[in-house]
Amino acid sequence: MGLRQVKRTVKQQAECVATSFGQIREFFTAHRCTYLERVLFTVADADGNTAVVSVAWVGLSSRSHAAEFDSLIGIHGNGDITPLGGQLLELGEIDFTGLRYGSDRDGTAVTVAEAENVLGGRFDHDSLDAIAEIAAFLPRV
């Protein structure tokens, strides 16, 4: 019928700007975000080590904007999309450092994942990095 969801696009753009910081927020103020979905979950191994994983699925208006966003968010210290709060999982405040990070880009979609130890978890850096890299390939919820 030639119609499009203007309100959803505006809402999503506002959410992308509001839930980001640093150069990532600047990027979102200049480039349209078509969707943002975030999830937070925990994983554990047989030894009782526990990690929390944050995943964000971001839609951009073009492949070139997605590639630019993926490159920008891959540089540590440029800013980020604020992960959902640990209170949702009764974990309290979680400090995501961005050091254990994974991303995937497919067309206009970019998935960003981060992992950190929680509840006394003792995963080493490489294990947390691998968890984040795998989480970046999770399908959008």
**Mean pLDDT (whole number) for 98-111:** 95
pLDDT digits (tens, 9 = 90+) for 16-68: 999 999 999 999 999 989 999 999 988 888 888 889 999 999 999 999 999 99
Residues 53 and 132: beta-carbon distance below 8 Å: yes
pTM listed for this prediction: 0.88
* pLDDT bucket at 129, cuts 50 / 70 / 90: very high
Where would I find the beta strands (DSSP E) of the chain? 20-22, 33-44, 50-60, 79-81, 101-106, 109-118
Helix (H, G, I), strand (E, B) or coil at 95: coil
pLDDT digits (tens, 9 = 90+) for 78-94: 999 988 887 777 777 88
From 40, 36, 48, 35, select the one nearest 120 (Cα to Cα): 48
